[in-house]
Structure 1
Amino acid sequence: MRTRFRVLMLAGLAAGAATLGLAPVLSQTNTQTVARYTMDAGTLSGMAAMSQGGGGMGAVMNMMRGGDQVAHELVLRLGTVRAPANGSPAADHFMPENARLGPSVPLVTPRPAVREAGEPGQIGQTELPRGRLLLFWGCGENAGPGQPVIIDFARLARGEVPPGLYAQGLNLPDDWQVMPSNSTTYGEWPNERADRRLTAQSSLLGAHRVAGNYTPDIAFNLAEDFMPALNPTGAELPGGAVRMRWNHLDKATGYYAWAIGAGRNNRDMVWWTSSTTQAFGGPFADWISPAAARRYVEAGQLLAPGTTECVIPRQVREQAAEGMMTSLYAYGPQADFSYPPRPQNAPSSWRPEWVARVRFRSMAMMIPGMEAMMGMGGAGQDTDAAPQAPQPAALPRCRGGLRGIAERAAGLCQ
């Protein structure tokens, strides 16, 4: 019970870091823009592809045979200032045929979440969590001064957050988001009404159209497609550090790596990031614009686009038990659309009826030393080769990011 609670506490910490740290600054185009639409497209490889595909014995057996694991993910969000013209909100995204999702996918307005009563021992109850979180950062064979920063879960549950825990925000007015809280009417996909999934062969190239009873028609032609897969490998160095290497992606604008593992005393959790600063959480498990990536690279929070390796310090490996889960993100290009099209030197009075944004990234997840079993190629692998299709999904999938990893470790999903 304590082990499971410790993992759930870590999940809550990770989720809190993602929302409280480097949350992008919302910048509405202006009050006259009726609709804002975002598409976030990702390529998943290694264990991340298993998660997206639903896991199951088919995926496990494919990995054991050395088969490549590549999958695609897509997150769609529509927000408008309009109420539905008639009845309940209804909107659809009409896809090109090569997306392999059928003619369209529904953008569903989520129902308000119902807060359930907590179980004894959960956060908010009288029993405080036990254990610690050990934070490390930076690439190199040895951890830098002042590491690790140690966070006591019980103190954190009481609201005692150590100063400097979360990544410091940058002023990024272009990083607006679409959310229910900043939209009169909101719709999203994936959702409970549509269980279709992208395949490794899905493509986004071609014509896209969004239509519904609370949005103007949004139409654009996409010339960018999913990024190639990442193929990171990990090798232990003589001193105990772990060198992680990966293949270069031409359109990458920056890289970010993190690792998480259970402490050797069965009470601690260990968390490391590749940032040169103590910057945990923030938007790094999300999609990042090229302009924002340049700023984060300058701030030392992302690795430069030409980087192809990072050494995880030996102290991280010493503190973590075997099976340290490691993730690598490569942030990619962005495509922007609007109606009317944005003039070259748009005046401050320019007011489009709608704006749309498409972002790309590639993400891989692995346990260093187990890449062969995960079906991941080496850093020198030809990334232009056509990926093999993952086995059909058989079981419910875990969500993405740190929270999904923690819930998987707790046995709550696969």
Structure 2
Amino acid sequence: MISRIDLRGRTLSRRELLAELPRAEVDVEHAGAAVAPILDDVRTRGAAALRDLAERFDGVRPALLRVPAQTLQDAVAELEPTVRAALEETILRVRRVHAAQRPTDFTVDVAPGAQVRQRWVPVRRVGLYVPGGLAVYPSSVIMNVVAAQEAGVGSLAVASPPQKDRDGLPDATVLATCALLGVDEVYAVGGAQAVAMFAYGAAGQTDEDGATLCEPVDVVTGPGNVYVAAAKRLVRGVVGIDSEAGPTEIAVLADETADPVHVAADLISQAEHDPLAASVLVTPSVELAGAVEAKLVDLAATTLHRARVATALGGTQSAIVLVDDLDAGLAVVDAYGAEHLEIQARGAAELAERVTSAGAIFVGPYSPVSLGDYMAGSNHVLPTGGCAHFTSGLGVHSFVRAVQVIEYDADALATVADRIVALADAEGLPAHGDAVRARF
């Protein structure tokens, strides 16, 4: 069901190691060719294009693109009590963590009369995408919305695909979650066309009930399929984006002390997301590898999405990687840069401190990725495809900008005037120096 990669006894360069490791084959550039006409259509025709594209891709033509406020409130009223309690607890925990992420302004007195201040300013408006294809994600509503709210963003819009069995409305639990969070601007728009709507807006247009449609945003965030990722790549520069999120990934670094049932269950939990989902075990224990392989067969046979799981585990993106020891395993998981990294081994907490590339790290046998997906308090919108090497997961920082404020008095500027002129002349930009001389 799952392949093995044996790295024992081999000394590999970083380039060679990356070539050996499994990775989902996702061609965002190829998807971009299909997505570009969709973006142009939405930019040109606005609401009419959005309805046509929903009919084409989602199999339903929404009567209303903007979900009415009463529909949002009805979704809350119809929410099953245990689900509502779980959502409210998740909101509480995620808000608590994200409130602590708020960056602090600072002031530096560089010299007498010379001051530089830095302020963190939230973006004006954000568009938050919530997928609705193979599964629906009310938890992603929470992750996106709470981070933006805690950053102080004043205007939030959410888009999620229209559902054929709901007469073109998004999933009811997604709508209820928006209402619980106080978000009343929600659109029945999915895929690349949602990204286009956020980037270009439908300015000057109204819905069939007269509601004003989406104004352009400053930042688009949220996970999605390869076409959503391609759309985000193409609009980057028109708007900011969080990342080009691809298929989900889990890597587990484990030794012989790990419970093979826990490891197998966690690998399957991510494999059920998508046939392209990656599940990777890195271990120095051949015995654990064999036990996990056996448990994968048993557990995959009884899980709800068994066909999807089998495809993901059997794909080239998933593998059991055998290494000489945990130090070698650390090198492997750092090179891999997993979206989710679990460490189930002796000294797990110490090993976690040594990891430099991962979207989120789950330490010990009682911190499964599923906890982070819902109720840990951390954010589950994380970098995939090795992007953890250079970017971080969604958070308050995704929605704020650092603005520097410079204030010098005459004496402070006079002190450095000659040096500014010297540097300006050295760079061949004498007018820069003249701008300082003019003040004296």
Query: TM-score normalized by structure 1?
Result: 0.26
Decide which structure has greater strand share: 1
Higher RCO by CA contacts (8 Å cutoff, separation 6 or greater): 1
Query: TM-score normalized by structure 2?
Result: 0.25
